[in-house]
Amino acid sequence: MAGYILEMRGITKTFPGVKALENVRLQVKEGEVHALCGENGAGKSTLMKVLSGVYPHGSYDGDILFKGDSCGFKDIKQSEELGIVIIHQELALIPYLSIAENLFLGNEQTKRGIIDWNETSVRTKELLRTVGLSESPSTLIASLGVGKQQLVEIAKALSKRVKLLILDEPTAALNEEDSENLLKLILQLKEQGIASIIISHKLNEIAKVADSITILRDGRTIETLDMRKDDVTEDRIIKGMVGRDLTHRYPERTPSIGETIFEVSGWSAYHPQQLERKVLDDVNFHIRKGEIVGIAGLMGSGRTELAMSIFGRSYGRHINGTIKKEGRELHIKNISDAIEEGIAYVTEDRKQYGLILIDDIKRNISLTNLVKISRRTVVNENEEVVVAESFRKQMNIKTPSVLQKTGNLSGGNQQKVVLSKWIFSEPDILILDEPTRGIDVGAKYEIYTIINQLASSGKGVLMISSELPEILGMCDRIYIMSEGRITGEVNREDASQEVLMKYMTKSRGE
Amino acid sequence: MEVMKNVFKNNVRQYGMILALILITVLFQVLSDGILLKPLNVTNIIQQYSFILVLAIGMVLVIITGHIDLSVGSVAAFVGAVSAIMMVDYDMPYWAAIILSLLIGALVGAWQGFWVAYMRIPSFIVTLAGMLLFRGLTMIVLDGQSIAPFPKAFQKMSTGFLPDVDGSSSIHMLTIIVGVFLSLVTVLQEFRDRRAQRKYDFEVLPYPWFIAKLVGIVAVINVFTYVLAQYRGIPYILIILFLLVIVYTFVMKKTVMGRHTYALGGNEKAAKLSGVKTKRVTFWVFVNMGALAALSGLIYAARLNAATPKAGVNFELDAIAACFIGGASASGGIGTVMGAIIGGLVMGVMNNGMSLIGLGIDWQQGIKGLVLLFAVGFDIYNKNKTAS
């Protein structure tokens, strides 16, 4: 039996207020492909950051053994010296430098302090050949597609004499052919004795390349499966990933659902930069009065892109399709049209896209509907304070005054301000993108209550969330997205985490 | 007392600036043996810095949106030159020339606004190009020569005074009357605001403080008009400035357009996703800047009684410095028209005071630079302190 190249034992990592990892164990054998699975937020990325030294030795508890030797890394440089290289989901290449310059960035081939370009070029060619690229070393990164960039990243790892390669969602942004090539390359590297850890949501890919799987859930190791010995099916993995009791409670609600109020059909859109990449493909859905409709999907499945492209075409190019509200087709050209037609979009990232952090609460709330508190475009500032105060009470925003800057509020209170601002715009349709991300359990409950109230007042709510329990606990009907398409629609009664996960991991080829 | 503390805490920057202005004024008043605040000199300061103050009003809007405009000096020179051609070479009536000049300025602003807002080219580059382009055009239309003299009526815009009612007394009576009238309007307005706030059940200043504040404001207005009345009364240019400050303060504080401008500067993406037409707002802010740069150019030309190829050199730097001294943030979203005016006055009083005590232009430049650095440094130090 081969020994372990890597053993992580009893890893515990706490952030202020949250236990991200608790007593995690991960064992990777020499020369194997090891898959790491788990829901969003299960702790996979944190674990890899502990391993690579992003979180330095001492900021976590537990032991890391590499080739049997105990080690603790102060930074990434140290782990890379031993041959542990991590390739992140967001590629870390510099677009306006050449392949050769990128490959040896921070590791320049020098002779007496001066870069030896000939040596660099020769070695680059060699490395590119190993990963199956025929590009010239002087090609700019910006001119390569994502798939080839991914391969350049691997070549870069090889240049550091990698022994353990960690790939975080390597195929998330790739098309099928590129994914296939990448997986083949991983198997090739394995034959050369390079072990890899793959973090992936695509279970079919894991089944194809992995020798064993470790499943994480809520920051704990659930189990490690051997692909050859155990009888591992996708359902088996899914069960490991989601099989938990609902830890949150959801407020009671008796839905009273009316007629269809909002309907989107044949909706498609292209990526704003990568012109040939279709991010949304023939999406159809509808929302009824008083209904909370969920959209589940993994990161990168096109949920946010869908919401933003509907909301005044604020994302994407060549958007096609029709939007109907109460049977009438809408022609929305920009965001103010969308707001006027009664659509509101609560963004995923409240700090960057939701709030003006240097402005106070009242100004943030009034921004979406200044006309309402204005007479002939003159804003009535007294009325504004009254409005803000009423939201402060109604939403229970914890702050000494509505003159407080929103940048000084906690995440939960910021989110309440964002919700207030969109309720103030008097919408009929609310699109909520990750409405409870980064919020503590108490504030979550309050926000769920607000969402329920909105629905019972006859509005249509579309809720996007990465947290499956939240989707299951809140929504009357759920659409599931994968790779820019809707792959399934289930009613509350038929929904379970297993069912959703199955649709979520369904890729185009199947 | 709690209310007072809050009012002060929220406006440290504003009050700090006013305090700095008072300190600098007192300093130079002493150093210059009392010449600084002589009626003649006060009038001089107003007339000498009026064109910078006009630019600062437009510039603060540009800075609030998170941009910068380096071209205003060149645009002012260009418009001054074109107006001279219209009035001197073609004998156009001065009012028609003024209207046309302002339109030309707005068009220049529209040109730059188009590149910044719709083509998304950084404003630093667009207006740097504009700075070179319009300086070049100025020299071309003037053919390297100065054009003079302007019609008398036009010159009056910069150098004229409001006529007196009878003209017999040594004190300018109309100026005193204006002072009293302004005091009345201010007091009435303050009472109306207070009543409105009461109606909404808001906390208001305690009555004695409120009265003290009113007495203070009335005193400042009347002392100022009394000083002016001892010389030749109110210069026309002061009326123009006063109207601009009132209108722009109102627009920025009270209207939807003003709110959208602040929101855009505070967080462009969030503003856009809240329905603010960010491109359109940016565009109009530049159009406005162009028109005000044109006005500034006209005032300068009228004061000099000539259009020269070298007019307006370094105006943009003084205007930008005024905004930053007055509390505007280089990253956008923060700044006030009043702040920019006060910042401009700080620079103006310093320039004038240093000249009075005979400091050379070399020292003046250096000291102004340090004042800009320390004013902004103080601002950032304060912000970090409140944040932690």
Q: Cβ contacts (< 8 Å) between B196 and chain A: which residues? A: 382
A367 and B269 within 8 Å at the Cβ level: the answer is no
Partners of residue A111 on adjacent β-strands: A114
Residues in chain B within 8 Å Cβ distance of A433: none
Q: Do the chains contact at A353 and B276, CB–CB below 8 Å?
A: no
Q: Which two tokens stand for residue A466?
A: 């990465």
To the nearest whole angstrom, how far is the Cα of A339 from the nearest Cα of chain B? 7
Residues of A in contact with B276 (CB under 8 A): 336, 367
Q: Do B200 and A382 lie within an 8 Å CB cutoff?
A: yes
From chain A, pick out residues whose CB is under 8 angstroms from the CB of B252. none
Model pLDDT for residues B348-378, shown as the tens digit of each residue: 999 999 999 998 888 888 998 998 898 888 8
Q: Which residues contact A216 (CB under 8 A, 6 or more apart)?
A: A24, A36, A37, A38, A42, A43, A44, A47, A222
Q: Chain B: residue nearest A349 by CA?
A: B270
Q: What is the ipTM of this complex?
A: 0.84
What letter would DSSP give residue B116? Answer: I
- Closest Cα of chain A to B166: distance in Å? 41
The pLDDT score that the predictor gives to residue A1 is 44
Residues A411 and A402: their CA atoms lie apart, in Å, by 16
Tell me what pLDDT residue A2 has.
59
**Ramachandran quadrant class, A287 (left: phi over 0; alpha: psi -120 to 50; beta: rest):** beta
Backbone φ and ψ of B36, nearest 5°: -50, -45
pLDDT in the model for residue A16: 67
Which of B256, B259, B273 is closest, CB to CB, to A335? B273
The partner residues of A29 in beta bridges, in order of sequence, read A4
DSSP string covering A214-278: EEEETTEEEEEEETTTS---HHHHHHHHH-----S----------SEEEEEEEEEEE-SSSTT-E
Q: Which residues of A touch B258 (CB under 8 A)?
A: 379
Residue A278 is predicted with a pLDDT of: 86
Residue of A nearest to B193 (CA): A382
The two three-digit tokens of residue B38, written as one number: 């002589």
CA distance A299 to chain B (A): 22
Pick the residue of B193, B251, B274 with the most A CBs within 10 A to test the interface with A by mutation: B274
User: Which pLDDT value is given to residue A246?
Assistant: 43
Instruction: Give me the pLDDT at residue A387, please.
Output: 94
Instruction: List the 325-364 stretch of A: residues with Cβ below 8 A of B.
Output: 334-336, 338-339, 345, 347, 352-359, 363
Q: Identify which of B196, B255, B273 has the shortest CB distance to residue A379.
A: B255
Region class of A268: left (phi > 0), else alpha (psi between -120 and 50), else beta: beta
Nearest to A356 among B254, B256, B267 (CB): B267
Angle, helices B123-142 vs B72-84, to 10°: value is 30
What residues of chain A lie within 8 A of the CB of B270, using their CB? 347, 352-356
- Rounded to a whole number of angstroms, the distance from the CA of B266 to the nearest CA of chain A is 6
**Residues A139/A98, Cβ–Cβ less than 8 Å:** yes
Residue from B273, B278, B281 to probe the interface with A (highest A Cβ count within 10 Å): B273
Subunit contact A353:B273, Cβ cutoff 8 A: yes
DSSP A34: E
CB contact under 8 A, B267 and A355: yes
**Residues of B at the A interface (Cβ-Cβ below 8 Å)?**
10, 196-197, 199-200, 202, 254-260, 262-263, 266-267, 269-277, 333-334
Considering only CB atoms, which chain B residues are within 8 Å of A362? Answer: none
Distance between terminal CA atoms of chain A?
36
**Which pLDDT value is given to residue A241?**
78
Cα(A94)–Cα(A101) distance, integer angstroms: 9
Test A385 with B272 for CB contact under 8 angstroms: no
* A441 interface with B at CB cutoff 8 Å: no
Q: What's the confidence (pLDDT) of residue B207?
A: 87
Quickly tell me which residue has 């437009």 as its tokens.
B58
CA–CA separation, A237 vs A287, rounded Å? 32
Could you please state the CATH topology (level 3) that the domain comprising A4-242 is classified under. Rossmann fold (3.40.50)
Residues in chain A: 510
A336 Cβ contact partners less than 8 Å away, ≥ 6 residues apart: A312, B275, B276, B277
Q: Confirm if A115 and A134 have CB atoms less than 8 A apart.
A: no
A68: left (phi > 0), else alpha (psi -120 to 50), else beta?
A: left
d(CA B17, CA B349): 13
Residue of A nearest to B265 (CA): A356
Which CATH fold topology does B41-160+235-276+291-345+362-387 show? ABC transporter involved in vitamin B12 uptake, BtuC (1.10.3470)
Low-confidence ranges of chain B (pLDDT < 50): 388
What is the pLDDT at residue A40? 67
**Residue A297: which residues within 8 A CB-CB, separation 6 or more?**
A303, A464, A480, A481, A482, A504
Q: pLDDT tens digits, chain A, 510 residues: what are they?
A: 458 899 999 999 887 656 788 899 999 998 899 999 887 667 888 898 899 888 888 888 898 998 888 888 888 888 888 889 988 877 788 888 999 999 988 888 888 889 889 999 999 999 999 888 888 999 998 888 878 888 898 899 888 888 999 998 887 767 777 888 889 999 999 998 899 999 887 778 888 889 999 998 888 898 888 887 777 777 778 778 776 544 556 888 888 889 999 999 999 999 888 778 888 999 999 999 999 999 998 877 889 999 999 998 888 888 899 999 998 999 999 999 999 999 999 998 888 899 999 999 999 999 999 989 998 889 998 899 999 999 999 998 888 888 888 988 877 889 999 999 999 999 999 999 989 877 766 678 889 999 999 999 999 999 998 888 889 989 999 999 988 899 999 999 898 888 988 888 877 655
Distance CA B64, CA B280 (A): 15
A393 touches chain B (CB under 8 A): no
Nearest-CA neighbor of A206 among A179, A178, A177? A179
Phi and psi angles of residue B309, each rounded to the nearest 5 degrees, phi first: -65, -20
Distance CA(A157)–CA(A13), nearest Å, equals 27
Looking at residue A298, its pLDDT comes to 80
The DSSP letter of residue B353 is: H
Q: Looking at CA atoms only, how far is residue B250 from chain A in angstroms?
A: 9
Q: What is the rounded radius of gyration, in angstroms, for the C-alpha atoms of chain A? A: 25
Cα A274 to Cα A145, A149, A180, A297: the distances in Å are 9, 14, 20, 22
Instruction: Say which residues have a Cβ less than 8 Å from residue A180's Cβ, sequence separation at least 6.
Output: none
The domain spans of chain A are: 4-242, 246-342+427-510, 355-426
Q: Decide if B245 contacts B341 (C-beta within 8 A).
A: yes
Token pair of B61 as six digits: 């809007």
Taking an 8 Å cut-off on Cβ atoms, the answer to whether B266 and A339 are in contact is no
The residues facing A19 across adjacent strands are: A14
Predicted local distance difference test score (pLDDT) of residue A198: 92
Identity of the residue numbered A502: K
Global pTM?
Answer: 0.80
Per DSSP, the three-state class of A457 is coil
Of B10, B200, B257, nearest to A377 by CB-CB distance is B257
Q: Is A421 an 8 Å CB contact of chain B?
A: yes
Residue of B nearest to A358 (CA): B266
Q: Looking at beta carbons, which residues of chain B come within 8 Å of A314? A: 272-273
The 10 Å Cβ neighbour count of residue A139 is 16
pLDDT reported for residue B203: 78
Would you say A43 and A59 are in contact if contact means Cβ atoms under 8 Å apart? no
B34 close to B44: Cβ distance less than 8 angstroms: no
pLDDT at residue A508, as a whole number:
65
Taking CB atoms and an 8 Å cutoff, what residues of chain A touch B255?
374, 377-379
Contact A250, A218 (CB under 8 A): no
CATH code for residues A246-342+427-510:
3.40.50.300
d(CA B316, CA A254): 64
- Which residues are A46's β-sheet partners? none
Contact by Cβ (8 Å): A332, A341: yes
Q: Which residues of B touch A347 (CB under 8 A)?
A: 270, 273
Search chain A and give the residue with CA nearest B202.
A382
- What is the per-residue pLDDT for B9? 60
CB pairs under 8 A between A and B: 85
Answer positive or negative: Cα dihedral of B260, B265, B270, B273: positive
Distance from CA of A353 to the nearest CA of B (A): 4
Does this chain's domain A4-242 share its CATH topology with A246-342+427-510? yes
Report the gap between the CA of A142 and the closest CA in chain B (Å).
21
Yes or no, beta carbons of B273 and A403 under 8 Å apart: no
- Residue A247 contacts B where some CB pair is shorter than 8 Å: no
CA dist., res. A216 & res. A39, Å (int): 8
Closest-CA residue to A171 (of A159, A158, A184, A160): A184
Of the residues A350, A359, A389, A423, the best mutation for testing chain B's interface (the one with the most B CB atoms within 10 Å of its CB) is A359
Measured between CB atoms, does A273 come within 8 Å of chain B? no
The length of chain B in residues reads 388
Q: What is the pLDDT of residues A484-502, one digit of tens each?
A: 899 999 999 898 888 988 8
Give me the residue spans of the domains in chain B. 1-37, 41-160+235-276+291-345+362-387
Find the residue in A nearest to B263 (Cα).
A356
